[in-house]
Structure 1
Amino acid sequence: MRTSQVAPISARRIDRSLDQMTVADIMTHDVTAVSPETAIHDAARLLIEQEVPALPVVDSAFRVIGMLSEQDLMVRLGPRRRRPWWQFVIDTDRVAREYRQAVGLTAGEVMTHPVTTVIPETSLESVIALFDDQGTGVVAVVSEERLVGTIDRRDLVKALLTVPVAQARRSDADLIAQMRERMAQEAWISRPRPAVHADHGVLALWGFVSGDAEKAALVTMARSIPGCRDVEDRLISKGTIHRYHEMI
């Protein structure tokens, strides 16, 4: 059970930045799906052959009703967890679902459901947040409730290859504003925040930070701003000052 094929992402040209891209730009169209009646052993073989972390489970109308993942199958390999008696009283539905998943013989019995789906117009930013919040590895892409593709973490990594390396030049004032805006959004940055200067595309950071990790993160933050040519690190770690005083 497969969907139509399209050119692989590496063959596509995308002239937009990551924050402008949508699921349609990078999703996998050539998808293998299984039915609820598919035997577990057949589904496991497909996972290995297709080298994917999960398979969509669809009904006869190609509507997504669940996802069968490697994690779902791993549940069957280990011993069943012993639960305290009170869980059987207050959470019987969950215990029953876990039992069915542990001993089920078909994809429909073992799959994770319900599942969150996205549409081709969904932003990559939203998909990344979905991966972080739910810990999922694959998300089904639907259009008019029918499966049209999937997107997984590897697709997001491949998206980096499609972004033009060359970045447009930015004024020094714009670079400074971008750096200050980024720092304002992060609670881990020491107060007062470091001073920022720019000269011909080179950002300079001045000030005190709590430690080497914060210092390195700030340099990376500056370097990742489109148009930044280099970073001049004048940050001083408070930990370095402390170690210096101990030495003297």
Structure 2
Amino acid sequence: MKRRTVQDIMTKDVVTVTEQTPFAEIAELLTEHRVSGMPVVDDAGRVIGIVTESDLLHKQEYKDHTEGRSLRALLRRNAQAEAKAAAVDAGGLMSAPVVSAAPGTSTTEAARLLNAHGYRALPVADEDGRLVGIVARRDLLGVYRRPDAEIREEIIKDVLVKKLWHDPDMLDVRVGDGIVHLSGRVETKSLVPIVARMIGRVEGVVDVVNDLGYALDDTAARKYTRI
């Protein structure tokens, strides 16, 4: 099975800023390009941080404070937020060090990184740390827009024939809205969950409805086998 990497889905034309980019210009770029964040790069194009809408909003958040709660007490709760609220350029606003992905990172790992760190986008950098692209959550969700016919073809050719050496005529594979319905019969009972699991790993598969039967229950024999 062909596993796509972030290099296959990333945006290569990335809007970036430097540490010296003023606050107002950053706000304008975010609005103009309709992005939620931008990588901060040095003169060599290496990623040194990332600045997001949330970073800019700290200034507005701390501009007005409720009566009875002093600004000093409010800011003391979060020194990092205080620093960003006072920042005037990307160097003061950015989060660093930044988590980035290599071009060969799998889409699965990229999704894990985004969720683990709560990011909306992940810079993609080469082995020297230079920015080569950016991958966003919406890019990763693109795998679920694969046509059902394309998913079914990959299941039959790559999973059943190439990986499992199974006669595809013995199984009925139907795909609708990314949901795979399996019926038919495989040789052994132990193979049933294996087939479903491998099909579930095909990109674009939302779920697998497994109604496979089997010719031989090899799991019963294992229970009585002593090593």
TM-score of the superposed pair, with normalisation by structure 2: 0.63
TM superposition shift of 1:82? 3.1
1:183-223 Cα distance to aligned partner (Å, 9 max, x none)? xxxxxxxxxxxxxxxxxxxxxxxxxxxxxxxxxxxxxxx97
Specify the code of the residue in structure 2 equivalent to 1:22. Answer: T
| TM-aligned CA deviation for residue 180 of structure 1 | 7.2
Displacement of 1:66 in angstroms is: 0.6
Q: Determine the structure 2 residue equivalent to 1:48.
A: 31
Which residue number in structure 2 is paired with residue 209 of structure 1? none
Instruction: State the match for 1:155 in structure 2.
Output: 139
Which is worse superposed, 72-81 or 37-46?
Answer: 72-81
Candidates 108, 126, 130, aligned match of 1:146: 130
The runs of 5 or more residues in structure 2 that have no matched partner are 63-70, 161-170, 172-183, 199-204, 212-227
- For 2:101 and 2:111, the matched residues in 1 are separated by 12
Alignment root-mean-square deviation, CA: 3.0
Q: CA deviation at 1:22?
A: 0.5
In the alignment, which residue of structure 1 is the partner of 2:89?
106
- 8 Å Cα contact 1:66/1:112 also seen in 2: yes
Report the 3-state secondary structure (helix = DSSP H, G, I; strand = E; otherwise coil) of the residue aligned with 1:130: helix
Shift of 1:98: 2.8
Verify: 1:177 aligned to 2:224, yes or no: no
The question of whether the paired residues in 2 share the 8 Å contact of 1:27 and 1:150 is answered with yes
Equivalent position to 1:78, from 41, 55, 61: 61
Q: How many Å apart are 1:155 and its aligned residue?
A: 1.0
**Stretches of structure 1 lacking an aligned partner (at least 5 in a row):** 1-15, 88-93, 183-221, 232-248
Is the Cα contact below 8 Å between 2:144 and 2:206 reproduced in 1? no
How far did residue 177 of structure 1 move? 1.6
Change (3 A) 1:72 1:136: same
Secondary structure of the residue aligned to 1:149 is: strand
What are the residue-to-residue correspondences of 1:1-248 with 2, within 5 Å? 20-79=3-62, 82=73, 95=79, 97-143=80-126, 144-161=128-145, 163-166=146-149, 167=152, 168-169=155-156, 171=171, 172-173=184-185, 176-178=192-194, 224-225=207-208
- Using the size of structure 1 for normalisation, the TM-score is 0.58
Identical amino acids, percent of aligned pairs: 31
- Equivalenced residue count is 164
